[in-house]
Amino acid sequence: MAADTLATPATPDPVALLDAALRTAIHRALGDDFADVDPVIRPSQNPEFGDFQANCAMALAKRLGDQPRALAERIIIAADLSAIAEAPEVAGPGFINISLRPEAIDGLLAAMDEPGLGVPPDPDQHPVVIDLCAVNVAKQMHVGHLRSTIIGDALARVMERRGRTVHRENHLGDWGLPIAMVLHELRAAGVDLQALRLEDLDAAYRDAQLSARSDEPGLAAARRLHAGPHRLAELQEQNDGARDAVDAAKATLVKLQQGDPELDRDWHRLIDCTLRSLYEALEILNVKLGPEHNRGESFYRDRLAGVIDAYAERGIAEEDDGALVVRFEDRERPLLIRKSDGGFLYATTDLAAVHFRAAELGADRIIYVVDARQRDHFRDVFDAVRRIGWDATADGATAELIHIPFGAVLGPDRKPLKTRSGENVTLRSLLVEACERGTAEVRRRATDPAAPTHGRSDDELAAIGRAVGIGAIKYADLSTDLVRDYLFDMDRMISFEGNTGPYLQYAHARICSMFSRAELASDDERLRAHSFAVHAPEEKQLALLLLRYGAVVRDVTRTLEPHRLCTYLYELADAFSAFYQKCPVLKAPEEQVRFARLRLADLTRRVIADGLDQLGIEAPPRM
């Protein structure tokens, strides 16, 4: 049979086609005042009542003072759905039930069965900026960095999938007094900075924080309570030492700001040491973030005085006890942008960064993937940016400023994940555990002589295990509503059953195995020589889910909620499982049926692989 002889539709998305046709029908039936009414099309909850349902008649009836059923009849009389659907029917209080024609479904699948898989390009071609990862120099990465990095990378991938240019911005904490404190601590301790390790940096950071910790309230209380001379001397010594440590760090920072060549060299060694550890983790995580994406606090240091001048000259900021603040009418807290001693703050850097990202990079969406505790900070920064008009691109577009807050990763005790000793869990330890658990599960399954991985080398099993372990962690993170805390349960995450990353990876591998048994490649000309032919209910359910793919990807770029893609992929894998159980593929009695089902399976495989890739999850061909 010749393949795909129907005319190619404008889009493979049936909802988009039905939406356009019914909007035209409503306009035709009701006049110009109703030219852009939403038909409110939803997938039918019960296949007995059709594939889709338009629910607009009830709301329109209230507006017109008409009967919903009568109004629905007027709409379907004016509608021309013959190219895609059977004659629609009115049901209940005024629902319009729509069933797609089988040959239309086949044609839509054929239109989708292209490299783009029906994903529409984004009409907005301004760049997007996503601020993610944001590690601090001289500190170990922890689970908070895991969430920021995974979420930000997934959103970047989805937007790139639709053709947007995405600037991933790793806003390194590489400047200011905390870094100067670490630098001074290392140099004072005589640490060989050419052989610097992250453990040295971590220890120096803790020691520097400890040495700068004063207790002025404690000293005042001790004096008031007439504490003994030993206690008073102890507290005085602590405070004097802290003052000396801060003064030494400030002196180091001043010399660094002035370009002292030796300090600048050592400062870069701190950064290089931190980034080596970061890139090792990113490689394991399969995250697209490299040196070209690093634009830390130091990048903006020469712009901060200009930020202060701009806000002061335009009267947006005012002095308060020597400090400079921006006030807001709807909240008591001001935004502090310069300290009383003339020092700058995180907010000052953030204002400079937004201005740069909109005006110079031209981004009309500037997205910050930062934990929920920073919600108030970003609200203040964004409002301050809008006050001065720095949310405008060079071509006059208004940039959308978005903070994506995320919740904490919880341990078995439902408290923020910690080690047994009570310390923060490092990212490295988490990734090592995930890879080990994934590899152990893959090796266990490979002992089955019937498994596709049986007899594979240890290196190949380890590579698959790493993909499974990392995929499990990523999917567990991305499949939840981002703002919610989630329970870190490796046993559940690594399972090949249920709503998990390995379950989706296994669905992909199972289809690959089917093609291997058929000795057929997905680009084999014999596939394209046969049309799609959807008949069985399980085939139709799978087909309708496949046709939703482009809309789901578009929806994720709009809502910035990757769990929508996760939910879709899980439903698709479940639908494929039902299809696989009920519809023989390789043992189909007729060649046309066999190849039509193989083609449907191949399209499913490609969508699962493409969707997982947007989540940053590998799809191994064997598991």
Q: What is the C-alpha separation between 286 and 154, in angstroms, rounded?
A: 11
Q: What is the C-alpha separation between 111 and 8, in angstroms, rounded?
A: 6
pLDDT tens-digit readout, 324-358 = 999 999 999 999 999 888 888 899 999 999 999 99
pTM of the model as a whole: 0.90
Q: Which class is 14-112 in CATH? A: alpha beta
Question: At 335, which helix (H) or strand (E)?
Answer: strand 335-338
Q: What is the C-alpha separation between 598 and 85, in angstroms, rounded?
A: 25
Pairing of strands 95-98, 89-91: antiparallel
Q: How many Cα atoms are found within 13 Å in the side-chain-facing hemisphere of 102?
A: 9
Higher pLDDT, 421 or 257: 257
Is domain 428-614 classified as CATH 1.20.210.10? no
Residue 426 has pLDDT above 90, yes or no: no
Question: At 96, which helix (H) or strand (E)?
Answer: strand 95-98
> Which residue bears the tokens 């109004």?
71
Query: Side chain identity at 259, as an amino acid letter?
Result: G
Pairing of strands 128-131, 95-98: unpaired
pLDDT tens-digit readout, 84-117 = 999 999 999 999 999 999 999 999 999 999 999 9
Of 42-51, 214-223, 519-528, 565-574, the one with minimum mean pLDDT is 214-223
Residue ranges per structural domain of the chain: 14-112, 132-172+289-406, 177-258, 428-614
SS3 of the chain: helix, strand, coil, percent, to 5: 55, 10, 35
Matching CATH topology for 14-112 and 132-172+289-406?
Answer: no
Pick the CATH number of 132-172+289-406 from 1.10.8.60, 3.40.50.300, 3.40.50.150, 3.40.50.620: 3.40.50.620
> Which residue bears the tokens 């009830």?
58
As a whole number, mean pLDDT of residues 177-199 equals 84
Pairing of strands 365-369, 400-404: parallel
**Signed CA dihedral, 618, 619, 620, 623: sign only:** positive
Q: What is the C-alpha separation between 197 and 276, in angstroms, rounded?
A: 10
Q: What Å distances lie between residue 450 and 59, 453, 623, CA to CA?
A: 57, 9, 12
Q: What does the pLDDT read at residue 87?
A: 94
Q: What is the C-alpha separation between 570 and 573, in angstroms, rounded?
A: 5
User: Cα 165 to chain center, whole Å?
Assistant: 16
- What mean pLDDT is reported for the chain? 90
